[in-house]
Structure 1
Amino acid sequence: MAVLNSPFIGFIVIFIAALLLFGEMLVKSKGIFGLLGAGLFLLYFIYHLHRGSPLLMLGLLIFGLVLIIIDSKLITNGSVALIGVTLMILACVLPTPSALYGLAVAAAFILGTSCSFLFLKIFPARSYWSKLTFSDQLSSEAGYNAMNESHKALVGKDGTTETSFRPVGIVEIEGKRYSAITDGIWLKKGEAVSVISVDGTKIVVQKKAAGT
């Protein structure tokens, strides 16, 4: 595997590894994405064995992944997830033989992670996402409406994000609050959005373009 001496090949390997590993967290792939992504990371680390401890690198990678999962399930403000991503990037950068190589794999990791959200447009999302819709809090007493078929009337209507979207959150439309999801795009609280589709219990919103 001498080809891994090339920063370009390192970029490709880490990009695909991050794409698949985070894709496994987002969509139902029967574990295929996770196995392939983990295999590519392991191949990368084994090749760079002589440049540092593989246990340390794998430890940073796994610990970073755990922090991301903890943030998305318990904290949901992105702060711990940012630390996790940083640790995972360090795990990939530390064993590299040059600054150029390190920069290449860091960029590959960030790009691969970002592109993994595109899987949500192709594959069914994991039930994990439904846990982020706060369904246990969506009672009429709390000012929420249970999502049902009647929500199809919301298509085309405008609203405002009441929470940050990662990519699930709460949106207010005509004075009522609904759990909704974007097409993999993260939004901040207070942004203007419009409903683009309703599929069963899933309300999909997108950010309104400036001036519309």
Structure 2
Amino acid sequence: MEVLNIASVGFFVVLLGSLFLFGELLVKVKGIFAIIGIGIMATYFSFHITPGSGMGVWVALLYIIGIVLLVIDGKFVSDGTLAALGILMMILGIAIPTPNIIYGFLVSMALLLGAGASTLFIKVFPPRNLWSKMTLKDRLTGDLGYNSLNESYKELIGKEVVTTTPFRPIGTIKYEGKYYSATSDSQWLDAGTKVKVVAVDGTRIVVKKEEEG
């Protein structure tokens, strides 16, 4: 495997290894991508970590710990902090044992490119939904036990309230010590006018002047 002395070859090896390892984290393929990725990266590290090279197994451990941090972040934390630290450790793990700066830069870029390209697997294979906590998928509706703002506004329908500001035709009403922005549609009202809440659409409250007598 002396061909791995060439920086461009190392670039493509790390690119492929990263593509499959990150792909394993993103999609469900029954470990196939993990086996391929581990095999490719094992070849890379076995070449660069040899007796007399001055590099120990610790650089490979950096890479492995980085992957572990990615998994922990995706499954439990989901804020991206450990994931960023994990990617940094993976970059250090593959760049430190390289023979020169150019080689190190190329394999670092290969890891990032492989990670980015692995997202294409999501279009073909079922996703693992890592980092799903970063996206709020549950709807905060009343039937799920949430007391939404919209539901509290609907409770105003039919209530008799008093305007606290002039309506032109938007103004403010007060009910049970709370102030609400409302509209009287085409009616212009003075402050202190008795009105009734006739409709609620989202957070839009519509009031109508009470009929005298």
User: Fold match, TM over 0.5?
Assistant: yes
Structure 1 residue 137 displacement after superposition: 8.7
Q: % of aligned pairs identical?
A: 42
How many pairs are equivalent? 146
Structure 1 residue 127 displacement after superposition: 5.9
For each residue in 1:166-186, what CA deviation from the matched residue of structure 2 results, as whole angstroms up to 9, or x when unmatched? xxxxxxxx97xxxxxxxxxxx
Cα separation, partners in 2 of 1:102 and 1:112, compared to 1, 3 Å:
same
Structure 1 residue 68 displacement after superposition: 1.2
Name the amino acid aligned to 1:32.
I
Give, in whole Å, the separation in 2 of the partners of 1:25 and 1:87. Answer: 17
Q: Which residue of 2 aligns with 1:45?
A: 45
Name the amino acid aligned to 1:82.
A
Whether the aligned pair in 2 keeps the contact of 1:57 and 1:92 (CA below 8 Å) is yes
Q: Which residue of 2 aligns with 1:89?
A: 91
Q: Which residue of 1 aligns with 2:111?
A: 109
Q: Which residue of 2 aligns with 1:60?
A: 62
Whether the aligned pair in 1 keeps the contact of 2:73 and 2:131 (CA below 8 Å) is no
Q: Which residue of 2 aligns with 1:20?
A: 20
Name the amino acid aligned to 2:110.
A
Give, in whole Å, the separation in 2 of the partners of 1:116 and 1:13. Answer: 15
Name the amino acid aligned to 2:87.
V
For each residue in 1:22-48, what CA deviation from the matched residue of structure 2 results, as whole angstroms up to 9, or x when unmatched? 101111212111001011111000001
* TM value normalised by structure 2: 0.61
Structure 1 residue 131 displacement after superposition: 7.2
SS where residue 99 of structure 2 aligns?
coil
Cα separation, partners in 2 of 1:8 and 1:76, compared to 1, 3 Å:
same
Name the amino acid aligned to 1:91.
G
Cα separation, partners in 2 of 1:23 and 1:138, compared to 1, 3 Å:
farther
Give, in whole Å, the separation in 2 of the partners of 1:20 and 1:100. Answer: 24
> Structure 2: which 5+ runs fail to align?
149-200, 203-213
> Structure 1: which 5+ runs fail to align?
145-173, 176-212
Whether the aligned pair in 1 keeps the contact of 2:67 and 2:90 (CA below 8 Å) is yes
Of residues 122, 130, 146, the one that matches 1:142 is 146
Is 68-77 or 132-141 further displaced after alignment? Answer: 132-141
Structure 1 residue 69 displacement after superposition: 1.4
Q: When you count helix as a share of all residues, which structure comes out higher? A: 1
Whether the aligned pair in 2 keeps the contact of 1:45 and 1:54 (CA below 8 Å) is no
- Counterparts of 1:1-212 in structure 2, within 5 Å, are 1-50=1-50, 51-126=53-128, 140-142=144-146
Q: Which residue of 2 aligns with 1:200?
A: none
Name the amino acid aligned to 2:145.
E
Whether the aligned pair in 1 keeps the contact of 2:28 and 2:126 (CA below 8 Å) is yes
